[in-house]
Amino acid sequence: MAFAALAAGVSGLQAFTQGVGVIADNITNVNTIGFKESRARFSTLVTETSSGSAYSPGGVRAFSETLVSKEGLLQPSEKATDLAVDGSGFFVVKQAPSAEEDGEFVFTRAGGFTQDSEGFLKNTAGLFLMGWPIASDGSLPISKQDLGELRPINISDLNGLAQATTDVSIRANIQATTPINPLYVDPGNLPAGTAVPVFEPGDLADGTAVADFETEVNVFDSQGGSHRVIIALTKIGTNTWAVDGYADNPIELDPTEHPDGLIFSGELVFNGDGTIDQTNSTYVPSSSPEIFYNALPTAPNQPLDQVVNFDFGTDGQRNGFTQYGSVSTTISSSVNGDSFGNVTGVSISTEGDVSALFDNSLTLTVFRLPIATFPNDNGLSRRQGNAYSASDLSGSFNLVEAGTGGGGKIAPNSLELSTVDLANEFAELIKTQRAFSASTRIITTSDEILEELTRL
């Protein structure tokens, strides 16, 4: 019996030593961003006996559980790359910045990210923040659950970035009372059989006809160069206007493809209520105009040719060109693409959109941060650097956009504090230390009993 009691005391020493270790880990990480406290739990070790009159001591064993699902308080920060998850979920991070390098994907709520010497965002544990790249049309990868679609967040390589124009939208009103251009009106005294002059593509671009209304936009090429495009109209019939779109500087464009700089030509037809009649309008060909640049011998480089969609409004609506009695005027224009200059900073929204800020006051959204959720957060396996990996207990991850699918939103300029409560930890430390001391008394008492037995 004395040997059994001795073994029970030893099990207590082992269990409470482990308990002290758990408490020590909590206390030393009281200031660790995103740290989740652990708890030591104890379970009995029972030795079964066939006799109801005798008792056989067993002992105790310890195990720990990490309260990963417990959320810490959010503390405001002045740094734009300090992030927290407001709600459930984790940031996706990787141990290496590129797909070519070995590195495991893990998950963390430690969002104190800082740019390294190469511009990558990584936290104090050296884990690189990953996100979905956003295409120029604003779309995300189709396979959002594929970790291979994620890319490390880096905006420093956007310095000098240029994005070619692909879409131009114009809102303008052209005066309904404008007389028809006399070049295209049958004067009534022409000899019989004489053809009535009709508008030919390029008449406005080459100066054959004088425009009744002009507006202009700047389009950007693949190298960030700006090119002025003039959109000229002249009235050729009732509710019908001819339109030419041409380069203000024709030598910038391939003269074979764009004589006199002409990019597109056609007609704008309006309904009786002043809205555009897209069914009968022919201001662009069946496909969007393709702009071919001229390879000038004196030019050090040449941009790529580009396709541009010119949008003059929706059929039957007033969101583009209209024809009313008020004076002809441009209301607004919208052109995508630009020359973005040098990166001066980064902005991250609550939806997880990562935008680069440029010195010419422009912004460009280039990444979106996913939020990883799990069926059982408390079943995650702890990893180095205050991170976690999936396990059988946690279930598989699910990548969602911030604020959707059970995932929390991103809290920019914020950090999640440790969930450790010092007062509670010190109270637990006292209890565990007393329990350890009591176990030593079991051992010394058992030793005394054994000593008496050996004297018999």
Domains of the chain listed by start with CATH number: 2-67+419-454 (no CATH), 74-160+342-416 (no CATH), 162-339 (2.60.98.20)
Model confidence band, residue 54 (pLDDT cutoffs 50, 70, 90): confident
Helix, strand, or coil here: 323? strand
pLDDT > 90? residue 168: yes
Burial class (CB in 10 A: 0-12, 13-18, 19+), 337: buried
DSSP for 384-435, please give it.
TTTEEE--TTT---EEEETTSTTPPEEEETEEEPP---HHHHHHHHHHHHHH
pLDDT > 70? residue 414: yes
Whole-angstrom distance, CA of residue 418 vs CA of residue 125: 15
In this structure, of 54-58, 203-207, 363-367, 429-433, the range with the lowest mean pLDDT score is 54-58
pLDDT for the residue numbered 193: 62
Whole-angstrom distance, CA of residue 122 vs CA of residue 130: 9
Whole-angstrom distance, CA of residue 279 vs CA of residue 150: 43
What is the average per-residue pLDDT within 244-260? 93
Element housing 439 (H / E): helix 422-454
pLDDT > 60? residue 21: yes
C-alpha distance from residue 143 to each of 140, 327, 341 (Å): 9, 51, 32
C-alpha distance from residue 136 to each of 16, 140, 304, 336 (Å): 58, 10, 16, 10
- Rounded to 5°, the CA angle 214-217-223 comes to 150
Name the region of 421 (left: φ>0; alpha: ψ -120 to 50; beta: rest): beta
Whole-angstrom distance, CA of residue 114 vs CA of residue 12: 45
Out of 190-194, 260-264, 358-362, the most confident range is 260-264
- Rounded to 5°, the CA angle 243-249-251 comes to 115
**Dihedral through CA 432, CA 433, CA 437, CA 443, nearest 10?**
50
Across the chain, mean pLDDT equals: 88
pLDDT for the residue numbered 185: 79
pLDDT for the residue numbered 358: 83
What is the average per-residue pLDDT within 265-273? 94
Element housing 3 (H / E): helix 2-28
The one-letter code for the residue type at 37 is E
What is the average per-residue pLDDT within 240-256? 94
Write the pLDDT tens digit of every residue in 302-321. 888 999 999 999 999 999 99
Can you list the positions of beta strands (E) in 290-348?
A: 290-291, 306-307, 309-311, 321-324, 329-335, 338-339, 343-348
In this structure, of 7-16, 64-73, 165-174, 367-376, the range with the lowest mean pLDDT score is 7-16
What is the average per-residue pLDDT within 343-363? 87
Whole-angstrom distance, CA of residue 251 vs CA of residue 236: 29
Whole-angstrom distance, CA of residue 16 vs CA of residue 63: 10
pLDDT > 90? residue 178: yes
What is the average per-residue pLDDT within 116-144? 89
pLDDT for the residue numbered 195: 64
pLDDT for the residue numbered 284: 64
What is the average per-residue pLDDT within 63-68? 86
Helix, strand, or coil here: 282? coil
pLDDT > 80? residue 339: no
Burial class (CB in 10 A: 0-12, 13-18, 19+), 420: buried
pLDDT > 90? residue 206: yes
Model confidence band, residue 271 (pLDDT cutoffs 50, 70, 90): very high
Answer whether 310's CB lies under 8 Å from 165's CB.
no
Helix, strand, or coil here: 220? strand
The one-letter code for the residue type at 438 is A
What percentage of the chain has pLDDT greater than the value 90?
Answer: 58
CB atoms near residue 332 (< 10 Å): 8
Question: How much is the pTM?
Answer: 0.69
pLDDT for the residue numbered 6: 76
C-alpha distance from residue 365 to each of 5, 85, 168, 169 (Å): 68, 20, 19, 21
pLDDT for the residue numbered 99: 56
Whole-angstrom distance, CA of residue 309 vs CA of residue 123: 42
CB atoms near residue 160 (< 10 Å): 13
